[in-house]
Amino acid sequence: MDVLTIALVTAAALVVLALGVWAYRRLTHPESSGRDDRYTPERVLTPEQAHMLDYLQDTFPGQVVLPNMMLKDMLTVRRASNRKRAEERLNEHKVDFVVCGEDGRPSFAFDVEQHHLSDARAKAHRVKMKNRILKTAGVRFVFLKNGIHRMPSPAEFRAQLNLAELPKPKPKEEGRESAMQQLESQFSGFDHQHSSHTGFRESEIMGMSGLMDLNRTSGRLNGNSGFDHRRGDSRFDGNSLDVRGGR
């Protein structure tokens, strides 16, 4: 046999072998219709997360509160020197809870306070980056205590958050190139209003102590703390201020 004939015979043999293997697998492992498949539910929330979700729903009655949200599902890149890298950053971060306003856009994002003994510096850097990203979108990022027994009543907490809500940038269809400058100007006004009265710096991640400082400052300036200190009812007090701007 010449070389060409040998090559053709070899190729034909390989094709026949491949078809034989395919037919054998089809006969011994027929494609399942799925009728006999059974599944087991996995935990979506831990009991602690479920309790905190209930607490936040009491804090924001009538608003949507979502757990375990990736930043890529909450935000889009409005402007960036490197859009691809900015989008990658959104894929790298998530928050424990997010609260949406009436327009469906996020207003507040929360992480439950955790104390890490390993890689503390790296985790602190990630948290700082996440806070920076959320702040440019007008989403206030706040750390929650790791247990609702350590949190204020929902009405008190909501009143504190009223003082910390950030201004929103305009949607894409309405915004112009100057929107970023306008937002930064509003941030500067907020800094000037509060930085001289509290120890909280706007560049820091806000925790409960920072919120309480803002509330105490507001009480001194206005002569009224804006919320009822009674703790008998865990539900939202309809007379408290609304973070969406109404009552």
In which domain, by residue range, is 234 found?
58-170+211-247
Mean pLDDT of 180-209: 50
Q: What is the pLDDT of residues 23-57, one digit of tens each?
A: 777 777 666 778 888 999 999 999 999 999 999 99
Asked if residue 104 is part of any domain, the answer here is yes
More confident site: 49 or 206:
49
What token pair was written down for 200?
Answer: 């909280």
Asked if residue 148 is part of any domain, the answer here is yes
What token pair was written down for 81?
Answer: 């020197």
- Amino acid at the residue 71: L
Query: Average pLDDT, whole number, for the chain?
Result: 75
Dihedral of the alpha carbons of 39, 40, 42, 48, in degrees to the nearest 10: 150
Asked if residue 141 is part of any domain, the answer here is yes
Nearest to 193 by CA among 220, 232, 156: 220
Mean pLDDT of 92-107: 94
Nearest to 87 by CA among 105, 103, 104, 75: 75
Locate the DSSP E strands across 47-88: 64-70
Structure letter (DSSP) for residue 206: B
More confident site: 53 or 163:
53
Burial grade of 237 (CB within 10 A; 0-12, 13-18, 19 or more): middle
Confidence (pLDDT) at 190: 46
Nearest to 131 by CA among 103, 93, 158: 93
**What is the number of structural domains in the chain?**
1
pLDDT band per the 50, 70, 90 thresholds, residue 80: very high
> Is the pLDDT at 119 greater than 60, yes or no?
yes
More confident site: 113 or 117:
113
- Say which range, 44-48, 116-120, 192-196, 238-242, has the weakest mean pLDDT: 238-242
By the 8 A CB rule, do 144 and 113 touch?
Answer: yes
Asked if residue 161 is part of any domain, the answer here is yes
pLDDT band per the 50, 70, 90 thresholds, residue 171: low
Mean pLDDT: which of 100-109, 112-121, 223-232 is highest?
100-109
C-alpha dihedral sign at 182, 183, 186, 187: negative
Confidence (pLDDT) at 229: 37
Question: Which contiguous run of DSSP H or E holds residue 94?
Answer: strand 94-100
What token pair was written down for 150?
Answer: 């350590």
Confidence (pLDDT) at 245: 35
Asked if residue 156 is part of any domain, the answer here is yes
Confidence (pLDDT) at 204: 60
- Amino acid at the residue 17: L
Confidence (pLDDT) at 226: 39
Asked if residue 78 is part of any domain, the answer here is yes
More confident site: 191 or 92:
92
- Amino acid at the residue 160: Q
More confident site: 72 or 2:
72
Asked if residue 69 is part of any domain, the answer here is yes
Mean pLDDT of 59-81: 94
Asked if residue 186 is part of any domain, the answer here is no
Q: What is the pLDDT of residues 122-137, one digit of tens each?
A: 888 899 999 999 999 9
CA 70 vs CA 91, 113, 138, 144, 207: distances in Å? 7, 18, 16, 18, 21
Q: How far apart are CA 29 and CA 27, in angstroms?
A: 6
pLDDT band per the 50, 70, 90 thresholds, residue 120: confident
Mean pLDDT of 140-155: 92
Nearest to 141 by CA among 116, 122, 166, 162: 166
Confidence (pLDDT) at 219: 53
Q: How far apart are CA 124 and CA 132, in angstroms?
A: 12
Neighbours of 144 (CB within 10 A): 20
Q: Which residue(s) pair with 98 in the sheet?
A: 66, 109
Nearest to 166 by CA among 90, 105, 233, 97: 105
